[in-house]
Structure 1
Amino acid sequence: MISFENFGDLHGLDIGAFAPKPTSIEGDQQEAAIVLWSSPDGRMETGVWECTPGRFTADRSDNAEICHLLSGRVTLHNGDGSAREIGAGEMFVLPLGWRGEWTIHEQTRKIYTMVAGGV
């Protein structure tokens, strides 16, 4: 038998206290997150993350990330100079090896799944 977890409405889920975003390069960004599930081998993790407006760097050299924005609006700046705006209700993937920057235009909450490289 396969069991499952139901976390209910993730829009209002308490994800804990906000703290300064370590990779922030613009704005006084604060972030909070909660892990909802992780695989027994630690190679996959799903959770909810929220961040205040500003800009930060991101490096997916060791894992890929699948994201679904629950609220907010961001622009992803790829390492090649291209950019894409993404809003609430949209889903996207940051593939293994992606590097770039996020601009958070308004407080943003996402569901994420991280998958370690080599899976």
Structure 2
Amino acid sequence: MTYLPNALDAELPPAQPKPTSLTGQRESTLELWTSGGAEAGIWECEAGRFTAVRDGFHEICQILSGTATLTGEDGQVVELGPGSTVVLPDGWRGTWDVHTPMRKTYVTVQTGGTSSK
């Protein structure tokens, strides 16, 4: 069992440049658990814009803090804030516009394709 009393206050590793950032922001990830193609953790990102591709895995996110607009290549637009839950299925592509620094918990589950977080 992995237990974290408060994901909002958990200390994350030093932030690193986000590879898909269009605005130069940084991100940090604390992996809490991994097993058999699944992973759970906490992710944090500075305000800015980045692209995302979910090939080879599904991602389920619970937003803890911050706000963002998520725009899929299909044109669907979703506003995210504390308490929001979003599922990004295998094959999802789009853009995150992070308005205020964001922290989320996430679970990814591999589907057998090529994974590129």
TM over 0.5, shorter chain: yes
Once the two structures are TM-superposed, the CA of residue 28 in structure 1 deviates from its matched residue by 2.6
Instruction: For 1:23-62, list aligned pairs within 5 A.
Output: 23-25=20-22, 27-39=23-35, 41=36, 43-62=37-56
What is the correspondence of 1:1-119 to structure 2 with a 5 Å cutoff? 4-25=1-22, 27-39=23-35, 41=36, 43-118=37-112
Cα deviation per residue 1:6-28 (whole Å; 9 max; x = unaligned)? 11101010111011111001x23
* Residue identity matched to 2:78: R
Long gaps (5+) in structure 2: 113-117
Aligned residue pair count: 112
Q: What is the percentage of aligned positions where both structures have the same residue? A: 43
Structure 1 residue runs of 4+, over 6 Å off? none
Provide the rounded CA distance (Å) in 1 between the counterparts of 2:4 and 2:29: 14
Residue deviations 1:65-118, cap 9 Å, x none?
Answer: 000000001111011122111111111100111010101000000000000014
**Please, what TM-score do these two structures have when normalized by structure 2?**
0.92
Q: SS of 1:70's equivalent? A: strand
Provide the TM-score with structure 1 as the length reference: 0.90
Unaligned 5+ runs, structure 1:
none
Q: How far apart, in 1, do the equivalents of 2:86 and 2:42 lie?
A: 15
The alpha-carbon deviation at position 61 of structure 1 amounts to: 1.2
